[in-house]
Amino acid sequence: MRLSAEEFWRLYEANAFAALRRTERGDYTGVLKPGWGSEADARVEASRETLLDYAYTDDPLFAGWEETPGACMISLLRSRSFLTENPLNRAALTMLEMAFNARLTSIPLESYAAQRMRMLERCEKRPLLLYALCRVIEEEKPTEEDRLLYAQTRDRLDLRCERTTCIRVLGMLGQEEAAPTLYDVLVNEHEDAETLYVAACALANLNRKREAGFLIGMLSWDVAARCREGLHRALQVLCSGETLLLGETTGDLAAAWEAALEELPKDRASWLRHDARSVFWEKRLFCARHAPESGALREALPALAEDEVPLVREAARARLRARETQEE
């Protein structure tokens, strides 16, 4: 079955592929997990031409992937997912106020639209520091008392799930300084399951290969199904090249991942070549923006500059222009 770009990216976001392969050209073929389509429609494909002809700027999946915390927040606040008021969005704006160390007394008197515009203006006028985002994530983490309250109310805000917005930004920035904060979230037994999912994926987006062992170890803990899914997704992001690794989630995942790691690259140059062809566009974006200068990067950048995802393409072209300027 041929997929439209919107269908492909919704399935990608939902982690719906049991198998997925990306060609060097940027075409995809895959197999859907059970429950995501009929048996006849399980095999799917999406062409490069289809993916190129897509309104990426209108898709929240691609919002926020900027190079500074403030720019990330501006992009997220302008995205479709933040246009509508709901308790989670309101709480996330309040947390952003805290990151700016602002007074919170005026918030209940404001409409959501006014608060959102005010935070957009603040992000545009003042630098939002990575340290500040990490601080509010750590200081506002849920406690045992919060978990007990949640057991009564079933309100995820009691577990401070609004922190997921800031946690997601840490992964988008791809800066190693964020790793201790993400660890702090992952080892906190009182976190919301969705927060753990986002934190695991954010840690993978930092592209620290040494984190694979930690994530595999967590698979052996007594974790909720959603957290287990997040750990598995994080390992896929961290380790998959042009083919999705371990699309199925049955059996002993920890043992399966231990075996898979034995077959993966062992040196930095090989890892970069592996990542630059990754089925995950987030990994290709990391290569274009953050990979250290090397022969492997010079080899990878021309292909990344023709990537089907505009964010990757633009980052690689900016890197190429900067290198050409240095060489003049």
Q: Give the mean pLDDT of 318-328.
A: 83
The pLDDT confidence band at residue 28, using thresholds 50, 70 and 90, is very high
**In degrees rounded to 5, what are phi and psi of residue 38?**
-70, 165
In this predicted structure, the answer to whether residue 65 has a pLDDT above a threshold of 90 is yes
Q: In the chain, pLDDT over 70 holds for what percent of residues?
A: 96
Q: Beta strands of 114-272 (E only): which ranges?
A: none
In this predicted structure, the answer to whether residue 71 has a pLDDT above a threshold of 70 is yes
pLDDT digits (tens, 9 = 90+) for 100-147: 986 555 455 689 999 999 999 999 999 999 999 999 999 999 999 999
Residue 321's pLDDT is what? Answer: 93
The pLDDT confidence band at residue 271, using thresholds 50, 70 and 90, is very high
Of 235, 247, 243, 309, give the one whose Cα is nearest residue 279: 243
Residue 42's pLDDT is what? Answer: 87
Exposure on the CB side of residue 274, measured as CA atoms within 13 A: 20
Instruction: Record the tokens describing residue 206, joined without a space.
Output: 């930092």
Helices and strands: H and E segment counts in the chain: 17, 3
Q: Domain segments of the chain: what residues?
A: 5-54, 60-208, 266-328
The pLDDT confidence band at residue 253, using thresholds 50, 70 and 90, is confident
| Beta pairing, strands 43-46 & 17-22 | unpaired
In this predicted structure, the answer to whether residue 75 has a pLDDT above a threshold of 90 is yes
